[in-house]
Amino acid sequence: MKASVGKLKLSKIQEKPWTHLMADFIIKLPVVARKDTILVICDRLPKITYFVVTMKDILVEGLERLSKDNV
């Protein structure tokens, strides 16, 4: 027996920037100036993406500083 499918629900429309961010890493890149990873931060409302060069073994405190300094 097939399960019934409900109506499609639309995502809530964001009213101001910096309320919904996405972050991910691009890893295993060739090492240049001791950097081998890119932190990708995207603000979903204006579709602005920031690329921050970093190291793969960075700590949480370092990520916080990177995001504050570069975004």
Q: Indicate whether 53 belongs to any domain.
A: yes
Residues in the chain: 71
Q: Indicate whether 40 belongs to any domain.
A: yes
Q: Indicate whether 13 belongs to any domain.
A: no
By the 8 A CB rule, do 54 and 37 touch?
yes
Query: Could you read off the pLDDT of 10-64 as tens digits, one per residue?
Result: 777 778 888 888 889 999 999 999 999 999 999 888 888 999 999 988 888 988 8
b/e sequence 45-58, b meaning 16+ C-beta within 10 Å: eeeeeeebbbeeee
Q: Indicate whether 6 belongs to any domain.
A: no
Tokens 């603000």, located at residue: 43
Q: Is pLDDT above 70 for 1? A: no
State the residue range of the domain holding 31: 21-70
